[in-house]
Amino acid sequence: MADYKVKLVRAASITGAANKTSITQPSQTAANPQNPSSTRTGLASTREQVVFDVTPEFSESRSINYKNIDPVHAPGAVYMYANTNARTFSISAKFISRSIDEATVNLAYIQYLRTWAMPTFGRIGANPAPGEGILGAPPAILLLTAYSLGNPSATGVTNTTPDSSGNPVPNIGNNIYQVPVIMTSLEIPYPSDVDYIPTKNGIPVPTVQTVSISLTEAHSPNAYQQFTLQDYKTGRLTNF
């Protein structure tokens, strides 16, 4: 089944096999928080991710840079292409807590977002997750997926569809799929006009909490060398 939800995944938690953690849905959490085997209620041995179950306000933008030369007495300027900036993404997402389970999950999502803004500093704690065991490491690289079917290489262009003038256009293989990004800003409000509901540990959480996140696309030099304009145009290029 296709999953079109917007989600962020810590990249290192996909490649590392040990200590992968992910917030589970309420139906997967332990029913008894007093059970010693459920000390980490709401966590499971999968990937570390935040899933925006309520469709967020989502935008994508980028700028294209040109340098201009202004010949004397000319009727216009001459433009030389410089570069294209990395995309930036803006997410304004609502976390809805209608039950203790949902409040527990959403608070853990908030804590993930806070953690992804922080470097590895001070000392290494017990059982570090993949990518968290090196002092001085910068904040995590995240993978952004939004409104996609899956791996673009598996859903490439197979045919075309005519536009309003009859011109054939390609059936795009995908949209935003596991694009590496860095978090550049995070805003977590605590509104005064909503009720608060406790988590399983008794922590009060807003029933409606709108979180704002700014992200910037961040590829390695090797990934840029693998860029192919033709595959990018048809939506087949992985991680772009």
| Structural domain contains residue 105 | yes
Sequence letter at residue 77: A
| Structural domain contains residue 239 | no
| Structural domain contains residue 73 | yes
Q: How far does Cα 62 stand from its chain's mean position?
A: 17
User: In the prediction, which pLDDT does 154 show?
Assistant: 55
Vertex 142 angle, CA 139 and 144, to 5°: 155
Residue ranges of the chain with per-residue pLDDT less than 70 = 1-3, 15-46, 150-158
Vertex 48 angle, CA 47 and 52, to 5°: 105
User: In the prediction, which pLDDT does 66 show?
Assistant: 97
Which residues span the domain enclosing 63? 6-234
DSSP classification of residue 122:
S
Q: What is the number of domains present in the chain?
A: 1
pTM of the model: 0.82
Residue 2 to residue 53: CA distance in whole angstroms: 14
User: In the prediction, which pLDDT does 157 show?
Assistant: 59
| Structural domain contains residue 200 | yes
| Structural domain contains residue 240 | no
User: In the prediction, which pLDDT does 151 show?
Assistant: 64
User: In the prediction, which pLDDT does 28 show?
Assistant: 36
CB 8 within 8 A of CB 48: no
| Structural domain contains residue 1 | no
Q: How far does Cα 56 stand from its chain's mean position?
A: 12
CA distances to 112, 114, 121 from 132, in Å = 13, 15, 10
| Six token digits for residue 227 | 């860029």
- DSSP, collapsed to helix, strand or coil, labels residue 152 as helix
Residue (of 208, 139, 152) closest to 179 by Cα position = 152
